[in-house]
């Protein structure tokens, strides 16, 4: 019975320390990422786009040339509105936030399990120390 109490205490302390270390690591990494001291993990990568120059299409009809010119103007305006890598940066930040939330949840559960082990060990230790009087 004594070995079980000692094992529960050791396991409880290990779980609490591990949970707190994961929690601290997660918060420090998030701090460094959100203060731009470190880049977010690259889950989404911006594809390398080949720059398309202005090609004059002299063999097409005027309608085809107008469609190409309108398409190029829309593309230029979209590049001014939303920079090329903004979408991937937002996606990478979102993925990191989800991952950090999962880590914090897991760390809190590990600390809770460690606390439960310590409580069970101290409860068993108290029960072992209680001696009932012998009846006659």
What pLDDT score does 50 carry? Answer: 59
For 4, 24, 49, 93, the CA distances from 18, given in Å and listed in that order, are: 21, 10, 44, 25
Domain boundaries, the chain: 2-43+57-129
What are the structure tokens assigned to 125, written together?
Answer: 């230790």
Sequential pLDDT tens for the chain (136 residues): 688 889 999 999 999 999 999 999 999 999 999 998 999 888 888 776 655 555 554 567 888 888 888 988 888 887 788 777 888 889 999 999 999 999 999 999 999 999 999 999 888 888 777 666 667 5
Nearest-5° Cα angle at 88, 82 to 91: 115
What pLDDT score does 56 carry? Answer: 52
Contacts of residues 117-126 at CB distance under 8 Å and 24 or more positions apart, as own/partner, are 117/8, 117/9, 117/11, 117/12, 117/15, 118/8, 118/9, 118/12, 118/13, 118/16, 120/8, 121/5, 121/6, 121/8, 121/9, 121/12, 124/1, 124/4, 124/5, 124/8, 125/5
What pLDDT score does 102 carry? Answer: 96
What pLDDT score does 80 carry? Answer: 80
CB 23 within 8 A of CB 124: no
What pLDDT score does 109 carry? Answer: 96
What pLDDT score does 103 carry? Answer: 95
What are the structure tokens assigned to 63, written together?
Answer: 């309608």
């Amino acid at each position: 019975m004594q070995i079980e109490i000692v094992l529960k205490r050791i396991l409880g302390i290990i779980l609490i320390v591990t949970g707190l270390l994961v929690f601290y690591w997660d918060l420090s990494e998030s701090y460094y990422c959100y203060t731009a001291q470190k880049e977010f993990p690259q889950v989404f990568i911006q594809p390398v786009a080949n720059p398309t120059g202005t090609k004059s299409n002299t063999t097409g009809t005027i309608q085809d040339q107008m469609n190409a010119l309108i398409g190029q103007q829309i593309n230029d305006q979209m590049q001014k509105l939303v920079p090329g890598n903004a979408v991937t940066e937002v996606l990478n930040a979102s993925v990191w936030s989800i991952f950090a939330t999962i880590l914090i949840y897991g760390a809190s559960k590990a600390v809770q399990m460690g606390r439960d082990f310590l409580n069970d060990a101290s409860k068993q230790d108290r029960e072992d120390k209680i001696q009932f009087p012998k009846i006659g």
